[in-house]
Amino acid sequence: MYYVIIQGFRSYRDQTEFVMGNFISPPPSAIQFVLSDEFSHLRPEQRLALLHEGTGPRVISAFVEIIFDNSDNRLPIDKEEVSLRRVIGAKKDQYFLDKKMVTKNDVMNLLESAGFSRSNPYYIVKQGKINQMATAPDSQRLKLLREVAGTRVYDERKEESISLMKETGRSFTDMFLIKCVLSTKRETCGDKSRQLRDAQQDARDKVEETERVVRELKARISAMKEEKEQLSAERQEQIKQRTKLELKAKDLQDELAGNSEQRKRLLKERQKLLEKIEEKQKELQETEPKFNAVKEREERGISRLAQATQERTDLYAKQGRGSQFTSKEERDKWIKKELKSLDQAINDKKRQIAAIHKDLEDTEANKEKNLEQYSVRFGLRSKKYAQIKHCYKDKQSKKVLKSMWALAAKREELEKKQQLLRAATGKAILNGIDSINKVLEHFRRKGINQHVINGYHGIIMNNFECEPAFYTCVEVTAGTRLFYHIVETDEVSTKILMEFNKMNLPGEVTFLPLSKLDVRDTAYPETNDAIPMISKLRYSPNFDKAFKHVFGKTLICRSMEVSTQLARAFTMDCITLEGDQVSHRGALTGGYYDTRKSRLELQKDMRKAEEELGELEAKLNENLRRNIEHILLIYASHTGFSSRINNEIDQLMNQMQQIETQQRKFKASRDSILSEMKMLKEKRQQSEKTFMPKQRSLQSLEASLHAMESTRESLKAELGTDLLSQLSLEDQRRVDDLNDEIRQLQQDNRQLLNERIKLEGIMTRVETYLNENLRKRLDQVEQELNELRETEGGTVLTATTSELDGINKRIKDTLARSEDLDSLIDKTEVEIKDHQKSMERWKNIEKDQNEAINHDTKELEKMTNRQGMLLKKKEECMKKIRELGSLPQEAFEKYQTLTLKQTQKRSHKQIQNYLRRNLQIETARWLTRFQTQTVHNKLAGCFLFKMREMQQLSGGQKSLVALALIFAIQKCDPAPFYLFDEIDQALDAQHRKAVSGTISQCIVERLGQE
C-alpha cells in the first residue's frame, strides 16, 4: 500500500491521508473496512454507526480509499498505482476501482488474484484474535489447518477427477463402438435416400404433368363456366328486356285503344267545366253590381261623415279662438298661415290622387293587353311545334327507331356497370378520377399545359391486361392502388393538383410519378410452385417502374403452405389464386372473395360497353346516311340529275338536323310560354288583390281632400270677421244639425258595412271556386288533351314489336349456346376426374416415398445428434481434465502422497522453527548477562518447552504459541502484506522484541521498558 485516505469514517470527519512508512499509520479498522469480509454485509443501522458523529453538520456519507503499489503487476491492471475506494451511506454501499463503480464480487476476485486468499484471512490479525486462537480447542485448530493447507479441497477434487477419468474411459469405448455403428448406418441411409429421391422425382414429375393437364382443363372449364354465366346473365337481361317490351307493347296497345275513350271523357269533362265556369261567372256578374252599389253608398256616407265631422271641428275651433287670440289681427295672421299650409297639403293630396288614378288605369290596360298577346303567342307556338313534330316523325324509319332502342339499352347497361364500379370502389376515389378528367378537359379547352396532358397516362387499372383467372389475386394485391394515377414527372402531378384545388373539385387522388420511382430488379425463386405476379400482366414497357412498384414484390403460389414457406424464405408477399395472402412480415389475410363484384371485370365490361356504344352510334349515323343516299340515288336514277341529288342529300341532312334543333327549341319555347302564362295569371290575380287596396286608399285620400277643402273654406269665411268668444246663433244651430247628421251617418255606415262584407264574402267564395278549382282543372284537361294529340303510339308500337322479335331470337341463340357449353363442361369434368384419380395415385406414391425419406432423414439426424452429443461430452471431459491439470506438476508430485498426519507434522515443524528462533534470541541475551554460566542448561530448559500441553502454559506462552501458528499459516500461504493490531496484548515482555523482529514495519504507540 502507498497510502490510505479516510473521510467521514468513525472519528475522521475531514479527509485524512496516511502515507505508509511514516510514523502515523491508518487505523486497522479502516483497512479491514475495505478488504476484510467482516464488513461485507452491513445493515443500515451498522452503516450509520460507522459514520462520523460529532458537532457541526451531520455526515451523510463516508469513504475509505486505499492506493496499492502495483509495480510488480500483482493486480491484473496495467497501472503502477491502483485505487480501491469504498463509500457508504444510510442507503448505499459502493465500491470504486480507479473511480469506476464495481461490485463486491469483482473486488473479492481482484484481491484473490493478488494473493489475498479467501480460505486464509490471516493477513489481517485484529485485536483479540491471538487470544482467541490461544484458547481455541484442538478440533478448531485442526479444521483451520485443513482449510489453510487446502487438503480437504484437494481430496474432494482428487476423488472427483478419478471418478471422472474412469467414466471418461468407459465413454471413449462406448463412443468408438457407436461411431462405427453410426458410420455404417449413415452409408446405408444415404444409399437408400438417393434411391427414394430418384423415385420421388419421377413421381413428382408425373404429378406435375398431371396437375398441368388438370389446370388446363380447369381453366377451360372456368372459361366455359364464365361464358355460361355471361350467357345466363345476358339471357336474364334479355328476358327482362323482353318482359319490359311486352309490357310496353301492351301498354301502347291499351293506350291506342283507350285514347279515343279518354279523349271523349276529357272533352265531356271540359264541357261540364265550361258550363260550371259560365254559371259561376253569371252568379258573379249578378252579385258584383249589388256589391258596387253598396260600396259606392258606403264610400259616399264615409265621405259625408268625414266632411260633417271636419265642419263641426272647425266650428268648435272657431269658438275656441276667442280665448286663443287677443286680437283680430293676431287671429287673421294665424288663419293666413294655416291657409297657406292647407293649400300646400291640398295640392299634395291632389297629386297623390292623380298618380293612383293613372296607376289603376295603366294596370287595367296592361292586364288585358298582356293576356291577349300571350294567348296569341301560345297558339302560334303550339301550332308550329305540332307542325315540326309531324315533320320529324315522317323523317324517321323503323330501322332507325330500332337502332335507337338498342343504343338506349346499351347506354343503360353502361350506366349500370358504372354504378356497380362506384359501389365496389368508393365515392371519393371515383370522384377523384372524374375531377382529374375535368381538369384535363379544362386544359384542352383552354389550349394550355399540353405537356401536362401528354404526361398524364391514366390509372393503373386502365393500363394493363391479364387473364380472368388472375383477377382475384391481382385485385387483392393492389387494393386501392389500382386507382393510382400514372404521371410522367412530379411536375405534371403538381400542375394537376394546383388546378384541382383551384377549381374546388371533390375526391382523393394518388400519383405515381415515373421519374421519382426507384425500383430495383427482384431475384425471384426458381420453383414450380410459384410465379411472379408481374409476369402475368400485359402492359406498356414505358410504365414498367409503376407496375414493379405495385406488383414487383408479389408471388402467385400454388397453395397457402407454399405461400407461407416462400414468404418466410425470400421475404416476399405471396398470394394464391383464390386471394389468400401471406405478407413477408407474417400477416395472413384471406377468406371468401365475391368474384361477381370484381373491379377488373367491371372495368373490362365498361370498356367493352363503351366500344359497343360507339360502334352503335357510328352504325346508326351510317345507316341514316345510307338510307337517305339510297332513296335519293333511286330517285336520281330516274331523273338523271346526280348533281342535284347530291345537293338534295346535303339539304335533307341539314334539314333533319335543323328539324331536330327546332324541335328542341320549340319544345323549350312552348314550356317557356306555358310558364309565362301561368306567371301572367298569377300576376293578374296579384294585381286584382292589390287593386282594391289602391281604390280604398284613393277613397281615403279623396275624403281627406274634401275635409281639408272644407276647412280652408271655413277659415276663408272667418278671415276679416270680428273676434268672438261665443258662436253665433246660426253657428250654434249648425253645430246641432251637424251632430244629428253625424249620428245618422254613423248608423247608416254600419248597416252598409255589414251588407258590403256579406256581398264581398259571396264574391270571394265564387272567385276562389272559379280560380282554384274550375279553371285549374280546365287547364289540366286541356294539357291532357294536348298530350293525347302528341302521342306517338303507332310508330313506337311498331318499333317495340320489331325489337321484341329481335330479343326473342337472341334468347333462343343464347339458350342453344348454353346447352352446348353444359355438354362440353360435363365431358371435361369427367376427363378431369380421371386425371385427378391418376394424380392422387402418384401423390400417394410420392407421399409414401417422402415419408420413407423423412424417416431415414430423422434417423440420420438422430445419429448425427447422438454423435455430436458424444463429441461434446468428450470435449467437456477433456476440458475438465485440462482444468485439473492446471496444478503444477512439481506440487502435484510433492503433495499427492501427503497425508493429514504429515501435514500436521509440517505445521508443527514451522512452529518449532519460530520457537527455536526465539530460543536463540534468549540464549544470546543470557550469554551477555551471564557469561560465566553454561548455555547448555538454558537451552535444555528452553527445549523442554515444546513437550508441554497448552493447558500447562501461561497466558504469555499461549499467545506466543498462537503467534507462531499464525506465522506458520502465513508462511504456507503468503499474502502481499500483513496487518497486526495489538498482537503483544498478552505477550510476555521478554518475547515482544523477538516478535517485533519478524515484522518489516512496526508501529509502536506505547513504549515500555523493552
Do 112 and 127 share a structural domain?
no
Say if 989 falls within a structural domain.
yes
Q: Give mean pLDDT, residues 186-197.
A: 72
pLDDT tens sequence across 624-659: 555 544 444 443 444 443 344 445 445 555 655 665
Q: What is the pLDDT of residue 379?
A: 59
Q: Give mean pLDDT, residues 148-170.
A: 69
Q: What is the pLDDT of residue 364?
A: 65
Q: Give mean pLDDT, residues 190-198.
A: 72
> Could you tell me whether strands 581-582 and 588-589 are parallel, antiparallel, or unpaired per DSSP bridges?
antiparallel
pLDDT confidence bin for 722, thresholds 50/70/90: low
Do 112 and 2 share a structural domain?
yes
Q: What is the pLDDT of residue 668?
A: 61
Q: What is the pLDDT of residue 840?
A: 81
More confident site: 833 or 342: 833
Say if 994 falls within a structural domain.
yes
The mean-pLDDT minimum among 456-470, 506-520, 654-668, 727-741 falls in 654-668
Q: What is the pLDDT of residue 368?
A: 61
Average of per-residue pLDDT values in the chain: 73
> Could you tell me whether strands 573-576 and 554-557 are parallel, antiparallel, or unpaired per DSSP bridges?
parallel
Q: Is the pLDDT of residue 869 over 70?
A: yes
Calpha distance 902→488 (Å, rounded): 99
Domain-terminating residue out of 551, 571, 596 = 551
Q: What is the pLDDT of residue 554?
A: 94
Q: Is the pLDDT of residue 121 over 80?
A: no
Calpha distance 848→492 (Å, rounded): 62
pLDDT confidence bin for 493, thresholds 50/70/90: very high
Domain-terminating residue out of 518, 551, 584 = 551
Do 38 and 104 share a structural domain?
yes
pLDDT confidence bin for 492, thresholds 50/70/90: very high
pLDDT tens sequence across 60-103: 899 999 888 888 887 888 888 889 899 999 888 999 998 899 99
Calpha distance 197→204 (Å, rounded): 10
pLDDT tens sequence across 35-57: 877 777 788 888 888 888 888 78
Calpha distance 628→646 (Å, rounded): 11
Domain around 490: 429-551
Say if 124 falls within a structural domain.
yes
**Range among 159-163, 435-439, 792-796, 841-845 rated most confident:** 435-439
Do 91 and 21 share a structural domain?
yes
| Amino acid at site 810 | R
The structure's pTM equals: 0.30
Say if 642 falls within a structural domain.
no
Q: Is the pLDDT of residue 947 over 60?
A: no
Do 14 and 56 share a structural domain?
yes
More confident site: 572 or 158: 572
The mean-pLDDT minimum among 252-261, 520-529, 741-750, 818-827 falls in 252-261
Sheet holding 81-89, edge to edge: 16-19, 3-7, 61-69, 81-89, 93-97, 100-102
Q: What is the pLDDT of residue 792?
A: 46
At residue 352's C-alpha, the angle toward residues 348 and 357, to 5°, is 145
Q: Give mean pLDDT, residues 712-740.
A: 73
Do 121 and 57 share a structural domain?
no
pLDDT confidence bin for 399, thresholds 50/70/90: very low
Q: What is the pLDDT of residue 130?
A: 66
Residue where the block lists cell 455404417: 184
Calpha distance 464→789 (Å, rounded): 54
Q: Is the pLDDT of residue 133 over 70?
A: no
The mean-pLDDT minimum among 313-317, 386-390, 774-778, 962-966 falls in 386-390
Say if 978 falls within a structural domain.
yes
Q: What is the pLDDT of residue 886?
A: 46
Q: Is the pLDDT of residue 430 over 60?
A: yes
Whichever domain contains 76, its CATH number is: 3.40.50.300
Q: Nine-digit cell at 773?
A: 278549382
| Amino acid at site 913 | N
Calpha distance 611→605 (Å, rounded): 10
Q: What is the pLDDT of residue 700?
A: 64
Q: What is the pLDDT of residue 637?
A: 43
Q: What is the pLDDT of residue 393?
A: 47
Q: Give mean pLDDT, residues 650-669.
A: 58
Please choose, from the candidates 289, 307, 299, the residue with its C-alpha nearest in 3D space to the C-alpha of residue 748. 299
Q: Is the pLDDT of residue 400 over 60?
A: no
DSSP symbols for 454-469: HHEEEEGGGGEE--GG
Domain-terminating residue out of 519, 536, 551 = 551
Do 139 and 44 share a structural domain?
no
Calpha distance 613→408 (Å, rounded): 9
Calpha distance 411→404 (Å, rounded): 10
pLDDT tens sequence across 336-348: 777 777 777 778 7
| Residues in the chain, overall count | 1010
pLDDT confidence bin for 944, thresholds 50/70/90: very low
Contact 973, 148 (CB under 8 A): yes
Contact 698, 356 (CB under 8 A): yes
Contact 53, 34 (CB under 8 A): no
Whichever domain contains 485, its CATH number is: 1.20.1060
Q: Is the pLDDT of residue 488 over 60?
A: yes
Say if 75 falls within a structural domain.
yes
More confident site: 461 or 865: 461
Q: Is the pLDDT of residue 560 over 80?
A: yes
Q: Give mean pLDDT, residues 377-397.
A: 52
More confident site: 737 or 949: 737
The mean-pLDDT minimum among 18-27, 136-145, 475-484, 628-637 falls in 628-637
Do 121 and 43 share a structural domain?
no
Say if 972 falls within a structural domain.
yes
pLDDT confidence bin for 324, thresholds 50/70/90: low
Q: Is the pLDDT of residue 557 over 90?
A: yes
Q: What is the pLDDT of residue 436?
A: 93
Calpha distance 738→307 (Å, rounded): 10
Q: What percent of the chain has a predicted confidence (pLDDT) above 70?
A: 60
pLDDT tens sequence across 203-242: 777 777 777 777 777 777 877 777 778 778 877 887 877 8
Q: Is the pLDDT of residue 689 over 80?
A: no
- Counted domains in the chain: 3
Do 122 and 92 share a structural domain?
no
Q: Is the pLDDT of residue 827 over 50?
A: yes
Say if 1 falls within a structural domain.
yes
Residue where the block lists cell 279623396: 702
**Range among 224-228, 914-918, 975-979 rated most confident:** 224-228
Do 88 and 132 share a structural domain?
no
pLDDT confidence bin for 945, thresholds 50/70/90: very low
Do 999 and 950 share a structural domain?
yes
Do 83 and 104 share a structural domain?
yes
